[in-house]
Amino acid sequence: MSPSVESETANHSGTTIEPEAVDPSVVDGAVLARVKAEVLSAARTMYERGLVEGTAGNVTGRVTADRVVVTPSSLSYAAMTLDDLVLVDLAGNVIEGDRSPTSEKSLHLECYKLYPEVKGVVHCHAKYASMYAVARRDIPAGIDEFVVYIGGDVPCADYRQSGTDDLATEVAKHLAKRSAALMANHGMVCVGKSVDDALHSAMVVEHNAQIMHGAEALGGVVPLPEKAVTDFTNVYDFIRNHMWSAEE
Ligand SMILES: [Zn+2]
């Protein structure tokens, strides 16, 4: 064994940051403050960009493996402050906060349960994406760069009633290899390596949905060549598998 390998091994064994040693119920105050700020900022941007109307939609951010910051239900985004955000565990129990968590908390929590690499989730009712959701059609990935961001076509999950665990189970299973999914007759949900990343995906999906809608009016979406889809899907998979979980 070379000296460099020996010393690297020693360094690794000497570090105090072993994943198994981290208690998911212990929350670092600085990380909690950062995630809360990201959730509030993303919620306001989601509203200001017209991705939702009124108090609809919801935003969450992961603090630890078992702690998530969620927006409250029925509160305007303009009036929302950091103190209104609620900390919950993956079972949905309120750990900290006075308000009721969003009624779609099950949807968000299911995404965190299934995908440890996911650190942010955004659910919204953006117009063009929702048109596809109401028509119960996947949004085609007609632009190659879109595949890098989202992983391919945005699949439309089957209809389940809003706010139910059934909806959470049905929708979240579509996000294994995608950053976005449609909820039939409802809207969309996006996941990301951070809250900002999930919000970015929501904006990218809405932008793409508007373009695909226009392309349909011009005679139809011409599919990307198969090789381009494969190549860019591989890029998405690599980024998700190797870079998402490497983030804090
Ligand atoms: Zn909704």
What is the 83 CA–ligand 1 centroid distance (Å)? 23
pLDDT tens digit sequence for 173-220: 999 999 999 999 999 999 999 999 999 999 999 999 999 999 999 999
Is the separation of the CB atoms in 118 and 58 below 8 Å?
Answer: no
CA–centroid distance, residue 185 to ligand 1 (Å): 10
Determine the distance separating the centroid of ligand 1 and the alpha carbon of 11, expressed in angstroms: 47
Question: pLDDT at position 245, please?
Answer: 82
Q: Give the model's pLDDT for residue 9.
A: 42
The bridge status of strand 180-183 relative to strand 156-157 is: parallel
Q: Nearest CA to 118 among 34, 28, 17, 241?
A: 241
Q: What is the mean pLDDT of residues 119-139?
A: 98
Alpha carbon of 150 to those of 180, 189, 198, 233, 234: distances in Å? 6, 12, 10, 9, 12
- Measured in Å, residue 206 CA sits from the centre of ligand 1 at 15
Q: What is the pLDDT of residues 26-59, one digit of tens each?
A: 989 999 999 999 999 999 999 999 999 999 999 9
- pLDDT at residue 19 in the model: 53
Q: Report pLDDT digits (tens) over 228-245.
A: 999 999 999 999 999 998
Using a CB cutoff of 5 Å, list residues around ligand 1, an ion: 187
* pLDDT value at 136 more than 90: yes
- 162 alpha carbon – ligand 1 mean position (Å): 7
Other beta carbons less than 10 A from residue 136's beta carbon: 13
Q: Chain-wide mean pLDDT for the chain?
A: 92
How many angstroms is it from 216 CA to the middle of ligand 1?
26
123 alpha carbon – ligand 1 mean position (Å): 6
Distance CA 197, CA 69 (A): 16
Collapse the DSSP code of 51 into the 3-class scheme (helix H, G, I; strand E, B; otherwise coil) and give the result: coil
Rounded Cα gap, residues 8 and 134, in angstroms = 55
Exposure of 94 in the CB half-sphere (CA atoms within 13 A): 13
pTM of the model: 0.90
pLDDT for 90-115, tens place per residue? 999 999 999 999 999 999 999 999 99
For residue 67, is pLDDT > 70?
A: yes
Query: What does the pLDDT read at residue 20?
Result: 59
Contact by Cβ (8 Å): 75, 84: yes
- What b-and-e string marks burial along 210-233, b requiring 16 or more CB atoms within 10 Å of the CB? ebbbeeeeeeebeebeeeebeebb
Instruction: Check if the beta carbon of residue 64 is closer than 8 Å to that of residue 24.
Output: yes
Q: State the distance from the centre of ligand 1 to the C-alpha of 176, rounded, in angstroms.
A: 21
54 closest CA partner among 113, 125, 149, 147 = 125
Mind listing the pLDDT tens digit for each residue in 220-231?
A: 999 999 999 999
What is the average pLDDT across 120-133? 98
| Residue 29, Cβ density class (10 Å: 0-12 exposed, 13-18 middle, ≥19 buried) | exposed
